[in-house]
Amino acid sequence: MKKIIFGILFLITSMSWAAPDWTKAEVVKIDPARHRVLLKHETIKSIGMDPMTMLFDVAHKLPLQNYKAGDRVRFQVKMSDGALEVTALEKAP
């Protein structure tokens, strides 16, 4: 029984340390004044969100001037103050 509990705890811990998934998207609109981006994204596997077009807050450390509507990008998100926030954004390879 102890081995099972240890195994489950190890699995949960290792999952929480795993790097967030990258999700592919297309930039629809950039709002630099509000630090937001409208993305048409694929499934966000880490949170089980279906593909859709959605407005995201963007971490203030990320520069938005490098992006424009139509750019193909990949991004990472996390929950921040009850909303999803883009924490990493880069042009798709």
First to last CA, the chain: 47
Domain total for the chain?
1
Give 73's strand partners: 25, 91
Mean pLDDT of the chain: 86
Report yes or no on 9 lying in a domain: no
Domain containing 84 — which CATH number? 2.40.50.320
Residue 11 predicted with pLDDT over 80? no
Cα 23 to the center of its chain, rounded Å = 7
Predicted confidence band at 80 (pLDDT cuts at 50, 70, 90)?
Answer: confident
Report yes or no on 11 lying in a domain: no
Report yes or no on 36 lying in a domain: yes
pTM: 0.77
Report yes or no on 12 lying in a domain: no
| Tens-place pLDDT, residues 17-70 | 556 799 999 999 999 999 999 999 999 998 999 999 999 999 999 999 999 999
Report yes or no on 10 lying in a domain: no
> CA-based diameter of the chain, in Å?
55
Question: What range defines the domain where residue 53 resides?
Answer: 20-91
